[in-house]
Amino acid sequence: MNAVIDVQHLKKTFNKEVALQDVSFTIQKGEIFGFLGPSGSGKTTTIKILTAQTEKTAGDVLLFGRPADEMKQSKNRKRFGILTDNSGLYTRLSIEENLLLYSNLYQLPNSAVKEALDFVNLYSERKKKISQLSKGMIQRVTLARAIMHKPELLFLDEPTSALDPVNTQHIYNGLRRLNEMGTTIFLTTHDMSEAEILCDRVAFLHKGKIRAIGSPKQLKKEFGDDSITVELKNGASEIIQNGEQDAQKLFHWMQSNEVSRIYTNEPTLGNIFMQITGSDLV
């Protein structure tokens, strides 16, 4: 497996304030990696260091096996795409004019614009000026710009934060398609369900430190329990653990047709984050 991103002991300070402390993680080619944490935890700073927009204070940061600093070189910038909440668009130009500019900067055929607009479901709106668009539509245009050149590595900073459920689902499907085509995705979010749906692995970032890392399944196994909750028709509910005694109890309720609902007590990623850090994700 090839590491697309390799970060070891990354530290970043702004004046005397520590933004990132001893952050280490590796992302393999073809992975969708979620960087989860509340606002101010250091997610955007990490993206900025990885894309050579901010200099690190200490540590090693490699992209495609080369120091991240080399991403400043124009030939390397074709290898990644980026969507951040401050990715600006030209408000007096139309959606199509904005994307045409970037298709020329990346020296792509004009068909790339249509493909990107189809990806974000905006082709029919392409003549609209950016100044006339809602926040969600602007987010989709920015995403179209980020994926237009089919980058090997895609950085997405809160990609669906301003989208409605229908467009969110549309974007998820598109991102999965891109990933199947080989694009590695580095995603930051504080939306745990988004991470569960999309990510192969996640890292919990809290106050500049990684507190846990692994696949959602692994983390749930590690931090959750095996119990299930049984709701009975009389309104009572009971927690059932593995074991002979609880199994007998459950068998009895089912035999006497008393069970109304059964559900697992598997924690959500949000529950695990809270358990580890003692704070919420928002």
Partner 1 sequence: MNISMTRIQAIFMKDYKEFSRNYAVSLMALMPLIMAILYNQTGANTISMYFLPINMVFSIVTAYVQCCLIAEEKEKNTLRGLMLSPASLGDILIGKSLFVFILTLVVVATTILFVGYEPANLFIIAIALVFSAVFYIAMGTVCGLFAKSIMEGSIIILPVIFIFPFGPLFQGLSEAFPVLKVAEWLPSSQLVLLAEALEGTYTTMDIIVPIATIIVWSLVTWIVAGFIYKKRMVD
In the complex, the residues that contact partner 1 under the rule CB under 8 A are: 48, 51-55, 72, 74-75, 77-78, 82, 86-93, 97, 100-102, 104-107, 145
Which amino acid is located at 120 in the chain? V
Q: Tokens 């598109």: give the residue.
A: 174
Beta bridge partners of 229: 239, 263
Instruction: State the minimum distance, in angstroms, from the CB of residue 107 to partner 1.
Output: 6
Residue with Cβ nearer partner 1 (60 or 85): 85
Instruction: State the minimum distance, in angstroms, from the CB of residue 106 to partner 1.
Output: 6
Instruction: State the minimum distance, in angstroms, from the CB of residue 169 to partner 1.
Output: 27
Residue with Cβ nearer partner 1 (187 or 269): 187
| Token output for 174 | 């598109």
DSSP 268: P
Instruction: State the minimum distance, in angstroms, from the CB of residue 75 to partner 1.
Output: 7
Residue with Cβ nearer partner 1 (93 or 213): 93
φ, ψ (nearest 5 deg) of residue 257: 60, 40
Question: Quick one: which H or E segment has residue 8?
Answer: strand 3-14
Burial 97-119 (b: 16+ CB within 10 A, else e): bbbbebbeebebeeebbebbbeb
Residue with Cβ nearer partner 1 (51 or 184): 51
Instruction: State the minimum distance, in angstroms, from the CB of residue 111 to partner 1.
Output: 16
* Among candidate residues 119, 118, 127, the one with its CA nearest the CA of residue 94: 127
As a whole number of angstroms, the longest Cα–Cα distance in the chain is 71
The rounded distance, in Å, linking the Cα atoms of 45 and 207 is: 12
Residue with Cβ nearer partner 1 (21 or 45): 45
Instruction: State the minimum distance, in angstroms, from the CB of residue 18 to partner 1.
Output: 16
Instruction: State the minimum distance, in angstroms, from the CB of residue 130 to partner 1.
Output: 10
Residue with Cβ nearer partner 1 (75 or 166): 75
* Among candidate residues 220, 222, 240, the one with its CA nearest the CA of residue 230: 240
Count CA atoms closer than 13 A to 8's CA, side-chain side. 6
* Among candidate residues 161, 197, 165, the one with its CA nearest the CA of residue 282: 161
Residue with Cβ nearer partner 1 (89 or 212): 89
